[in-house]
Amino acid sequence: MRKSYLVFLIIIGVFLISCSSENEKELMSKAQTQLREGSYAEALSSLEKITNEFPKTSEAGTAFLEMAKLYQGRAIKNVDDKESFLKAVEYYQVVYNEYPELKNNDGDLVAPGALFMCGFLLANEINDIEAAEKTYNLFLEKYPDHELAGSAKVELENLGLTPEEILLKAMAQPK
């Protein structure tokens, strides 16, 4: 009698725990609401929960992308700018490397844009010119016909230049 009562309690406990936990779609919906409301710390927590509990789902890829955007936009308080940009690059790299087939709502692959943003942030915010050059070259190798390919070429041509130097360079070119 005692054994069956204990088994019954365990089954009820497991049932209650499984009923109370959110699935990845519910968590993503919650995170999107939090993002719309400007509750960025709470959204980050929901997105991290998705990546930790459901790492093999497309929602996890979307969560990494949203976290990259949060850090790129410096929306997380108590994180300095450089650290925020480094986190954004880290998460964009995760999207590119681990979720290459992830698509946005329009059905376009997300990985090319994530890779481009790595190069952009490395060049323009973190000032790691060598890493930016490697990233842009990888982008052009993988996605030579992508709509951002022209921008990647321009970025490569102007790596390490100040805005003033880029302007002088543009003014010096014949029309």
Q: What CATH number is attached to the domain comprising 147?
A: 1.25.40.10
pTM of the shown model: 0.84
**For the chain, how many structural domains are there in total?**
1
Determine, yes or no, domain membership for 2. no
Q: Write out the residue range of the structural domain in which residue 64 sits.
A: 21-172
Q: What pLDDT is stored for residue 161 in this prediction?
A: 87
Do the beta carbons of residue 62 and residue 28 sit within 8 Å? yes
Do the beta carbons of residue 56 and residue 102 sit within 8 Å? no
Determine, yes or no, domain membership for 157. yes
Q: What pLDDT is stored for residue 173 in this prediction?
A: 83
Determine, yes or no, domain membership for 131. yes
Determine the Cα–Cα distance for residues 135 and 174; give it in Å rounded to an integer.
Answer: 30
- Tell me which residue has tokens 């700018």: 81
Copy the structure tokens of residue 9: 């309690």
Determine, yes or no, domain membership for 3. no
- CA-CA distances (angstroms) from residue 175 to 22, 79, 164? 59, 45, 19
Q: What pLDDT is stored for residue 5 in this prediction?
A: 53
- Identify the segments of the chain with pLDDT beneath 50: 6-9, 13-20
Determine, yes or no, domain membership for 44. yes
Determine, yes or no, domain membership for 46. yes
